[in-house]
Structure 1
């Protein structure tokens, strides 16, 4: 078993024609050996928050807990334990093999696993979760439901695609197409 960067493709969508076309240096400037990779940073990481209206002792306890969980001494161990749900997020966790080997990885498997994560995080095409209202509905309701129906053999691939498109259009219209576009652009740092 091993880890690798998410699969890539030699073709990309030409927006003008709506057709798949071969990658070239202009269309896929970050392609590697003609393959355009776009690793997906699913879930985007953990966050913690403390209610501003909480009692001062509760705020301090919350801060102390979040601080403890994120300090290298604790977090460097937690990322090596599968049941914590943490993935490596510090450079030290990606570069130091020792905690991984102590957790049962071989040196080779630790290098493979951490290398795939580093390659993904450093890829200029890395994609993150959708950050607009309705994301849970787009992905967690409509997409998941139709994908499950397709995998169960209830519907064809074409029906799944049509159902996803219909569901996504309904969500987009409910939140407002222009507002969704503007929020999506903002999430990507696009100002025009």
Structure 2
């Protein structure tokens, strides 16, 4: 997944984008980028749905009525895994492409979930369940998804169908349709990419991957050195935990039955 033309091309695109961002882009986190966007200092941002509702908060935003949303950009070339080469999109290489463009929206973080400890007192279980139920029911959830600081994004079908919720929150009908359309297109995509769901996935992504890419963007590593560092780091973790065990965990996360 690393030593191929597609990954090399992605690294070059990523580095190219840093020419057009804020001077301190490499040390910004998501809170910083959202602040820059709603204050009108950046024109484009890749984010969860929170940024769309933060943009209509009159206390922090100067871009109300000036924001649109689209699914993540796609590509006209994809990786041929058999050869490691980039090839043009067609019905065989990218069966889910739309008008010659292959979109692969990323379900980063995977969403919110609630859990209750089975060993706690029954009264605590009941209270925790009641709280989770309260937060999830339409009466409360339909409000929370329209408020940027809650961290909630639309997830009920009714929240996508009821434009009035969003208009009442401060969006224009056009902005609401753009916003909901981009999220819905991502969630419904048969090509959606999920987070890596194997044991110690944080070591693969947030330690090995993030470190190497940060060094690459800072000019400390060449493209080839970056790819090798990621490959070697992932191989080390996989060997430590057991290649077959990791493979089984990954297949189970996909619901693959054999």
TM-aligned CA deviation for residue 59 of structure 1: 0.9
TM-aligned CA deviation for residue 58 of structure 1: 0.9
RMSD (Å), alpha carbons: 1.4
Aligned with residue 72 of structure 1, among 133, 138, 142: 138
Aligned with residue 162 of structure 2, among 86, 91, 96: 96
| 1:123 and 2:175 are equivalent in the alignment | no
Q: Which residue is equivalent to 2:93?
A: 27
Q: How does 1:47-62 map to 2 (within 5 A)?
A: 47-62=113-128
- Residue deviations 1:70-114 (CA, integer Å, cap 9, x gap): 001111111111111111111111221222222222211111011
**In 2, Cα distance between equivalents of 1:107 and 1:157:** 44
Equivalent position SS for 2:252:
helix
Q: Which residue is equivalent to 2:253?
A: 187
**In 2, Cα distance between equivalents of 1:163 and 1:43:** 24
Q: Which residue is equivalent to 2:213?
A: 147
* Number of residue pairs the alignment of both structures matches: 192
Aligned with residue 104 of structure 2, among 16, 24, 38: 38
| 1:167 and 2:236 are equivalent in the alignment | no
TM-aligned CA deviation for residue 159 of structure 1: 2.3
**Unaligned stretches of 5+ residues in structure 1:** none
Q: Bigger shift: 115-124 or 165-174?
A: 165-174
Aligned with residue 153 of structure 2, among 82, 87, 91: 87
- TM-score between the two structures when normalised by the length of structure 2: 0.70
- TM-score between the two structures when normalised by the length of structure 1: 0.93
**In 2, Cα distance between equivalents of 1:156 and 1:94:** 44
**Unaligned stretches of 5+ residues in structure 2:** 1-66
Equivalent position SS for 2:78:
strand
Aligned with residue 178 of structure 1, among 224, 244, 247: 244
TM-aligned CA deviation for residue 123 of structure 1: 1.0
TM-aligned CA deviation for residue 143 of structure 1: 1.4
